[in-house]
Amino acid sequence: MAKFNHKLLKELTDASGIAGFEDEIQVICTRELKKLCKTVTKDPMGSIIGFKPGSKKGKKLKIMLAAHMDEIGFIINYVDDNGFLRILPFGGFDPRALMCQRVWVITQKGEKLSGLLNLGTKPIHLMPPGETAKESTVPDYYVDLGMPEKEVKKKVEIGDFVTMNREYMQIGDCVTNKSMDDRVGVFLMIEALKNVKNNQNDIYAVGTVQEEIGLRGAITSSHGIEPDIAVALDITLAADIIGTEPHQQIARLREGITIKISDGASISDRGLVQEFKKIAKSKKIKHQMEILPRGGTDAGGIQRSRSGCRVITLSIPTRYGHTVNEICAINDVTAGIDLLAEWLNKY
Ligand SMILES: [Zn+2]
């Protein structure tokens, strides 16, 4: 096993890019896939497709890997007369996790501005008793750029976007950042490809766009590729925390990569589940089986493209998903890299 590539995972997770605005991550993804694939192309919606042809003569299977490049964030829909920016969600943040966060505002003019995310309520000192208990939604928040209105209006336009301002950090035997979902999946795909030697069949490694708002890039890129088999790479909930019963935890940190049986968007192909399980057992790769009652991955989009496709998802157990503190265990990520590479090498 090669040394864990913190440098690449930091670059991937620090980058800003919500659905439809994946520019920064497209550049990194293209650069990395070019080192590993024969060709790298961008499809009309912006998904990045690396093609690694198989060595076999005659008819080859098309194997698609999919990891989404977009992260959850916000779009600016209004600039008010105080220079405060009103926002709408692109993807599902828990509003409770947004109070007093630092953010980046990425403008269409090409600037990256620091901002403060705040709830549009009275300061605590002025609030009548009981008012703090009110439930808030994303549109109740606004961004303060620390600039007078005139300056703000010169720089910011409707349609600029906002992401969380967090940096990659190692913590214990784990790594944390905003947007581990799903840059850690992009990372897993790239690192696994490095260990694929002489694949017989064709591999298409795809950094997809717009997953967080409905698997859109996965649907369109798989229509273009027409894969026989697809493996989505994403995070799943490690709800092994206080307040969750053991039978509701979905996955546990440090228990290995998960092989998905089903989620809210797809049921994994049973043959593929068995293949991955068998390899994990024979190669002694730490793994756990996953059933996620709600939520989905790119596999859900790919499975329903054309006349259907055999799909599966490998997921990285992640605590505090869709917050700024998403955290994954390094050993679970490397187990995923090993399992995917071993499986690809069999094809
Ligand atoms: Zn995801």
pLDDT along the chain (347 residues), means of 10: 89 97 97 98 98 95 98 96 95 88 96 94 78 78 96 97 97 97 98 95 98 94 97 96 93 98 97 98 98 95 94 98 96 98 95
Element at 65 (helix H, strand E):
strand 62-68
The dihedrals phi and psi of 63, each to the nearest 5 degrees, come to -110, 120
Residue extent(s) of CATH 2.40.30.40 domains in the chain: 73-164
* Structure confidence at residue 111 (pLDDT): 96
* Structure confidence at residue 97 (pLDDT): 87
* Structure confidence at residue 198 (pLDDT): 85
* Structure confidence at residue 128 (pLDDT): 79
Ligand 1 mean position, distance from CA 71 (Å):
8
Mark whether 211 is an active-site residue: yes
Residue extent(s) of CATH 3.40.630.10 domains in the chain: 6-71+178-346
Helix (H, G, I), strand (E, B) or coil at 192: helix
Q: Are 343 and 277 in contact (CB under 8 A)?
A: no
Ligand 1 mean position, distance from CA 128 (Å):
39
* Structure confidence at residue 2 (pLDDT): 64
Ligand 1 mean position, distance from CA 321 (Å):
9
Candidates 32, 71, 211, 255; catalytic one: 211
Domain spanning 73-164: CATH 3.30.300.20? no
pTM: 0.96
- Pair type for strands 62-68 and 229-237: parallel
Largest CA distance in the chain: 75
Q: Are 209 and 46 in contact (CB under 8 A)?
A: yes
List the shell of residues around ion ligand 1, using CB closer than 5 Å. Answer: 181-182, 234
* Structure confidence at residue 92 (pLDDT): 86
| Superfamily of segment(s) 6-71+178-346 | Zn peptidases (3.40.630.10)
- Rounded CA gap, 68 and 266, in Å? 16
